[in-house]
Structure 1
């Protein structure tokens, strides 16, 4: 989308997301939307480049140590991908301190990430060099779950894009504990004593 209005954010993500920033699409390509709940997160010092949106994030738990978040939507053509890799390097140079990089790179750095045999090894090597030079580390799902097990990642339906928005909720409602009700008549059901003995 070339223009994203608040009504689109509210329709897609819900009324809790009361602030947003976006990188507009060019025709049908690209475009990045970042929305947040301003009562829980502060996002400012936004920076834009052709394929990235970067912001500085602060939460109550990280008020003394804000961090940078860069979201990317990589191009399709090889000559554009080479410029995109330099773009990532330039963004990192402007973001001192902790930095998270995520999004759709339209690049792979391992053979197993490709679902067919059409692999551009030269481009894969370029991407791998950027990963190594910037000391990037992939955050695996099990690492995330160990450190942030209370968080939930949900995928929403989208009527405005062929990509579905993801919501990361790091403060879900506490689980509801249901009370266990023992029914006295269970003791008269055939096989009850066998179940109790097995326990």
Structure 2
């Protein structure tokens, strides 16, 4: 995806996460497969099967749920965690939008969890090709110390996100993807 497209998807997803977190809900399985793009350019978060309602008595969790490659280090390590684990997961989604797959995708689940727990913030393949705003945005999402990681509300004020175009700008991307999928479907033998 282009940086302009990533900006729009980021803004829309962060608005959804801000709404969830403001209502004391963690998604806990944020990944690209759980982000839906509509033909009008709308972006929606989906699949709340692992979501957790937080309460004053239980404002953090420690269960290891979600999809390995998008898990935050604190989740992999079995530590207590809060809503900012969703921000880490979104940072991994952003890397996926840049590189086409999440870090450690070529590893099996146990190996990927070990790398997440020990290596910390994943390295980009070609960071010099990215704008300084995108690199800084990723850094804000992928702080290994959950306390230093930005919230969805803070990220919505980041220059990378505030410079996003209207969501209707995604329509050409979505239309071309639909056409590509239709052509692939038509080429498959019966």
Tell me if both proteins adopt one fold, taking TM over 0.5 as the criterion.
no
What TM-score do you get using the length of structure 2 for normalisation?
A: 0.23
The structure where helix makes up a greater share of residues is: 2
Structure showing greater relative contact order (alpha-carbon pairs closer than 8 Å, 6 or more residues apart)? 2
Q: Rg larger in 1 or in 2?
A: 1
The structure where strand makes up a greater share of residues is: 1
